[in-house]
């Protein structure tokens, strides 16, 4: 009998422990909980939904169910979509939204029991509609540069995400602020707070981008050809100037050389004249020696002249007196 009581006590202890375990639940930091009883949400005395904040809570075991909702900031990244500007031109815009649950009760009721996918789909529609409204009032250039003139958009080879995109501008910030205001107002109905709205990329459609890049490439080729032709023209002018300077320097050098040669010849003639005037006979002798050297330098010359000819004056007598005799 005693052992039966002991066994019964153990069974009751296990059952009570199991019931107690299922009566407690923990909500972790960053989450909130909604308790449902027989499929209906529990409410407070003021008929408000009973929202469980982070901590340890009690529920009726096997009857109450706890729906855990993530109350942290979450990111909804929308896929790139096509938008039309006020010029009726298309842009491909990629954006994302930072959001979190601000009113768990409203969020639970408006999203079919806290269905995150449904909440994101509702937000995606709102952000798309808001951006479509904002982009539809602006031109491409206003979105890119924030100015009202009609200059061409500027392209960045690679943005911070490693993707080709149009360079941002102040108008982009204005669009995001307006979208944040519009979506924030409508998201309140869902129990959601919009923390931030950002545009990641603004691209032109591929068919438009290819034609713009082709035109930009043609313009750059034209500029390159212009620079090359200007370079060739300047190179020809530099070469012509260099050739002219060389010709002038050579002519000046030749003129100076001839002038110096003339001065040298004049000085030599003066020296010779001075020397020969002091000894005329020496002058005659040197002239005769020069004539002999020129006449007999080949070694095979034959001269037919009289022996007492003036040409052989210094052959007949070293003093050169043979002709006089």
| Residue spans per domain, the chain | 2-70, 74-204, 221-276, 279-316
Q: Residue 284 in 3-state DSSP?
A: helix
Q: What is the pLDDT of residue 248?
A: 94
Residue 18 pLDDT exceeds 50: yes
> Chain-wide mean pLDDT for the chain?
78
b vs e for 51-61, b when ≥16 Cβ sit within 10 Å of the residue's Cβ? bbeeeebebee
Q: What is the pLDDT of residue 180?
A: 83
Measured between alpha carbons, how far is 268 from 272 in angstroms, rounded to an integer? 6
Residue 300 pLDDT exceeds 80: no
Q: What is the pLDDT of residue 317?
A: 60
Q: What is the pLDDT of residue 153?
A: 41
Bridge partners of 58, per DSSP, are 24
User: What's the CATH code, domain 74-204?
Assistant: 3.30.479.30
Of the pLDDT bands very low, low, confident and very high (cuts 50, 70, 90), residue 257 is: very high
Measured between alpha carbons, how far is 147 from 70 in angstroms, rounded to an integer? 42
Of the pLDDT bands very low, low, confident and very high (cuts 50, 70, 90), residue 260 is: very high
Ramachandran assignment for 56, one of left (phi > 0), alpha (psi -120 to 50 degrees), beta (any other): beta
Phi, psi for residue 107 in degrees, rounded to 5: -60, -45
Q: What is the pLDDT of residue 2?
A: 67
Q: What is the pLDDT of residue 323?
A: 43
Residue 163 pLDDT exceeds 50: no
């Amino acid at each position: 009998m005693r052992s039966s009581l002991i066994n019964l006590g153990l069974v009751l202890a296990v059952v009570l422990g199991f019931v107690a375990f299922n009566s407690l639940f923990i909500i972790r930091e960053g989450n909130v909980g909604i308790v449902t009883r027989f499929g209906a949400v529990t409410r407070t005395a003021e008929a408000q939904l009973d929202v469980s904040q982070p901590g340890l809570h009690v529920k009726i075991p096997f009857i109450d169910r706890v729906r855990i909702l993530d109350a942290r900031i979450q990111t909804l990244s929308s896929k790139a979509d096509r938008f039309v500007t006020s010029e009726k031109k298309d842009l491909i815009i990629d954006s994302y939204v930072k959001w979190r649950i601000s009113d768990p009760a409203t969020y639970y009721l408006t999203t079919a029991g806290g269905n995150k996918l449904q909440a994101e789909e509702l937000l995606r529609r709102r952000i798309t509609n808001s951006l479509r409204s904002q982009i539809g009032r602006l031109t491409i250039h206003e979105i890119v540069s924030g100015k009202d003139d009609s200059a061409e958009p500027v392209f960045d080879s690679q943005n911070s995400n490693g993707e080709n995109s149009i360079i941002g501008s102040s108008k982009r910030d204005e669009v995001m602020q307006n979208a944040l205001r519009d979506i924030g107002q409508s998201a309140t109905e869902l129990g959601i707070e919009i923390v931030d709205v950002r545009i990641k990329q603004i691209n032109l459609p591929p068919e438009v981008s290819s034609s713009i890049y082709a035109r930009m490439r043609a313009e750059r080729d034209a500029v390159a050809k212009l620079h090359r032709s200007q370079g060739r023209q300047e190179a020809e002018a530099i070469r012509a100037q260099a050739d002219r300077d060389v010709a002038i320097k050579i002519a000046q050098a030749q003129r100076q050389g001839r002038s110096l040669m003339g001065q040298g010849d004049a000085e030599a003639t003066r020296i010779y004249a001075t020397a020969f005037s002091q000894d005329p006979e020496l002058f005659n002798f040197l002239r005769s020696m020069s004539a002999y050297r020129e006449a007999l330098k080949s070694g095979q010359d034959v001269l037919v002249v009289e022996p007492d000819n003036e040409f052989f004056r210094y052959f007949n007598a070293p003093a050169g007196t043979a002709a006089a005799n």
